Structure 1
Amino acid sequence: MNMARMPADSPASASRVYERIKFMAMAYQFRPGERINELALAEQLGVSRTPLREALNRLVSESFVTVVPGRGFFGRLLDAKEIHNLYEVRASLEEAIIRLACERASDEELEALETFARSRPTQDNGKSLEALRHDEEFHLRIARMTHNAEFVRLLEGINSRIHFVRWIDMRRHEKLDMAAHIRFAQLLRKRDIAACLTDSSLVIRRRYNEIVDVIRTGIAEIYMTSEHGA
């Protein structure tokens, strides 16, 4: 993968290095359990080891990579139990978000959410990365309606950690319900908390065996991509 080189140790370098490596970790461009070659990565990004090491340490604290003292940094594992736990946390978090959004959102915010839902990408039955990002933004917009920045921060963190699994999951479906966001936005506009919670739980909660199947597909995708040098 060709990437533009970053100005070495520029004021914005550390932030850009962090964002770039975070995306690589989210997409499992570091194989699970594989040691990250810091020298090669620094050369690839066109930066020195200092901002690289700062970014990696930050990503360790956020559970995007792991570190073994004396051995270095490693790609995070694709663990079914961890992903299942994150889905459970996300479901509970979104329930709280929905309740507050129904109470606190302005009519203008709710109208804007439905407008955004209608702009969802429709190509490839929603299987594209763009469609996933649209889905993540839809839920973040609801979180912002709570007018509590902590809900937004927590949801962003969970979304990032399950981003790859959700992308694989979307691609496994033959067809997605492209009207789901519109329907949900309309329920929010009615401020029908019970209906919103019921609709949300059907979409967000995932059984453990479903996640195991998705992870099997994801692991195959990781190694197939690596073998072909994509």
Structure 2
Amino acid sequence: MKTVRNSAVNPASTGRVYERIKVMAMTYQFRPGERINEIALAEQLEVSRTPLREALNRLVSEGFVTTVPGRGFFGRMLDAKEIHNLYELRVSLEEAIIRLACERATEEELAALEEFAQSRPTQENGKSLEALRHDEEFHLRIAGMTHNPEFVRLLESINSRIHFVRWIDMRRRERLDMMAHVRFAQLLRRRDVAACLTDSSIVIRRRYSEIVDVIRSGIAEIYMAPDERI
């Protein structure tokens, strides 16, 4: 049996525990509705129960896991309505970000964004996760151009909560439009707010029925063998 280390008094260690468990929750390594075995998880991460519980309670408040009084912590459900609401929120947030980025971004930031867009990876040969991470980083860079860190923080939170569904969605697509980010970066560089808003809305909006369909595929992925998962 692995030795469980006491990291309760170490904030840096506690933060690392939180980040590791957050990734597990994001990728549904805790199956929906399944009780999280705290003892086994503490042994797996080689930490004590105190920082583990602190991390789990924080993740409950952020919507990544759930808790039932007296019963413990559970993997969050794949709720189509909740995910649809998050997509809807992301559309509104991105609209605000675009307006401010067009107004506040420096020419150096806009040029760097276009250069980053040109490095977009393909999703071929199992690289859909890499493509998704690049897409998330692209939008976070635009949020950074507002020069308001609260936009970045909120977008990061939304991205994390829909990360798994977006990965499944991207895996289902036959091909990725490699020039989409470049075109958007060019529109942003021209500070064309109307064109940017139209382009962004088309890409981000997802109908409820589409999300339900993606979730069906996601459920199948969750119950595959661990080494076949994200």
Write the deviation string for residues 180-204 of structure 1: whole angstroms up to 9, x where unpaired: 0000000000000000000000000
Aligned positions, number: 227
Rounded Cα–Cα distance in structure 2 between residues aligned with 1:57 and 1:187 = 42
Rounded Cα–Cα distance in structure 2 between residues aligned with 1:180 and 1:126 = 20
Scaled by the length of structure 2, what TM-score is found? 0.94
What's the counterpart of residue 201 of structure 1? 201
Rounded Cα–Cα distance in structure 2 between residues aligned with 1:119 and 1:6 = 42
Where does the alignment leave 5 or more consecutive residues of structure 1 unmatched?
none
Rounded Cα–Cα distance in structure 2 between residues aligned with 1:192 and 1:95 = 13
Where does the alignment leave 5 or more consecutive residues of structure 2 unmatched?
none
Q: Judging changes above 3 Å, is the alpha-carbon distance between structure 1 residues 154 and 30 closer, same or farther for their aligned structure 2 residues?
A: same
Rounded Cα–Cα distance in structure 2 between residues aligned with 1:5 and 1:140 = 39
Q: Judging changes above 3 Å, is the alpha-carbon distance between structure 1 residues 59 and 97 closer, same or farther for their aligned structure 2 residues?
A: same
Shift of residue 225, structure 1, vs aligned partner = 2.9
Rounded Cα–Cα distance in structure 1 between residues aligned with 2:40 and 2:186 = 50
Rounded Cα–Cα distance in structure 2 between residues aligned with 1:13 and 1:27 = 22
What's the counterpart of residue 163 of structure 1? 163
Contact 2:122 2:176 in 1 (8 A): no
Shift of residue 178, structure 1, vs aligned partner = 1.0
SS in 2 for 1:124: coil
User: Residue 32 in 1 paired to residue 32 in 2?
Assistant: yes
User: Residue 104 in 1 paired to residue 104 in 2?
Assistant: yes
Shift of residue 122, structure 1, vs aligned partner = 2.4
Q: Judging changes above 3 Å, is the alpha-carbon distance between structure 1 residues 13 and 159 closer, same or farther for their aligned structure 2 residues?
A: same
SS in 2 for 1:67: strand
What's the counterpart of residue 72 of structure 1? 72
Rounded Cα–Cα distance in structure 1 between residues aligned with 2:66 and 2:187 = 41
Write the deviation string for residues 48-81 of structure 1: whole angstroms up to 9, x where unpaired: 1011000000000000000000000000000000
Contact 1:127 1:170 in 2 (8 A): no
Contact 1:87 1:204 in 2 (8 A): yes
Greater shift in the superposed pair: 88-97 or 124-133: 124-133
Rounded Cα–Cα distance in structure 1 between residues aligned with 2:154 and 2:148 = 11
Rounded Cα–Cα distance in structure 2 between residues aligned with 1:203 and 1:82 = 19
Contact 1:91 1:201 in 2 (8 A): yes
Scaled by the length of structure 1, what TM-score is found? 0.94
Shift of residue 5, structure 1, vs aligned partner = 8.9
Contact 2:123 2:176 in 1 (8 A): no
RMSD (Å) for aligned C-alpha atoms: 2.0
